[in-house]
Amino acid sequence: MEPRRIILLGASNLTLAWPRLLDVIASVCPEPMEVRTAHGMGRSYFLPYSRFVFRELPGILQSGLWSSLAQTPDREPLALITDIGNDLVYGRQPAEIVDAIDECVTRIRSWHPESRIVLTRPPVTSVQDVGRLRFAFFRRVLFPATSLTLEMIKTGTAELDDRLVALANERSVCLVEPERQWYGLDPIHVRLRWQRAAFRKILQHWGMGITDCNDVAKRVRVSGRRPVPETVLRLGREQIHSQPSIQTKDFSVFCY
């Protein structure tokens, strides 16, 4: 049987939840899988490169993921587009960000018109609850280079959410609203204890159902391993890694 193709696009939430995320995907899709992903801490959708500490990754739209989608699969792929608010802290406008998401949807549907695509809305309520002291702390820790104010982040997040709702309606894409309880002091990252529940709620919109069989977990024992991107800059030096980054009998991960 041809493996189910799965596309995962995002940033830090995919990175932090990676082992648990693959377990959830296996329970949603208990069949051979081929995962193609572009994610990473601080990942931008459309900047040429985005930096986290000493590592830089190309923007998701500039990554090698798209050129890897050469052959149209027989069955409809499953796609998740998340961490959509990341580019706000790089000073990008909500309209620009939604245009980048729209381009991702277009490319996925050009690959297969019947792709099942799920978008997640930004955590508007969690962001609106942030006070000045908490914002100052997390800005310094997570995005020290940004000059955005708390008011600018709150306004931008709300506008981004409105534009995503309009995009989802226009393109007939499923849009999932995050729950406030998923977040703690950190307003944008799903808490460890809620990661499985959060992704179960999100990925159930692929329409595949949920499998509770314990044998499913055995298929993704490699999920504890994190995939290595095809192209990464470390201290300005480009490193190229062959793909798939993870490969088993019926499970593979290509990372870009």
pLDDT digits (tens, 9 = 90+) for 82-92: 999 989 988 89
SS3 186: coil
The CA-atom distances, in angstroms, between 244 and each of 68, 164, 205, 219 are: 11, 32, 27, 17
Which has more pLDDT, 136 or 145? Answer: 136
Distance CA 254, CA 256 (A): 7
Confidence at residue 30, expressed as pLDDT on a 0 to 100 scale: 83
Q: Which two tokens stand for residue 57?
A: 């990754």
The C-alpha atoms of residue 99 and residue 94 are separated, in whole angstroms, by 9
Return mean pLDDT, the chain. Answer: 91
Q: In which band, very low, low, confident or very high, does the pLDDT at 2 lie, cut at 50, 70 and 90? A: confident
Q: Residue 215 has what pLDDT?
A: 52
Residues 150 and 129: their CA atoms lie apart, in Å, by 11
* Segment 169-176 mean pLDDT: 98
Per-residue tokens: 22:
């693959």
For 214, the token pair is: 């314990």
- What end-to-end distance do the CA atoms of the chain give, in Å? 25
CA separation, residue 81 to residues 37, 170, 230, 234 (Å):
10, 16, 20, 26
- Residue 220's pLDDT is 56
Task: Give the pLDDT mean for 104-132.
Answer: 96
Residue type, 90: Y
Reported as a single tens digit per residue, the pLDDT across 205-221 is: 999 876 654 554 555 55
User: For residues 233 and 240, what is the distance between their CA atoms, to the nearest angstrom?
Assistant: 9
- Helix ranges, 172-254 (H): 195-203, 215-218
pLDDT mean over 21-31: 89
* CA separation for the pair 236, 177 (Å, rounded): 38
Better-scored residue on pLDDT, 141 or 44: 44
Return the pLDDT at 116: 97
Give the pLDDT confidence score for residue 212 in this predicted structure.
Answer: 56
DSSP state of 210: -
Which whole-number Å values give the CA distances from 200 to 120, 180, 194, 237, in the listed order? 13, 16, 10, 38
Compute the distance between CA of residue 181 and CA of residue 123 in angstroms, rounded to an integer.
11
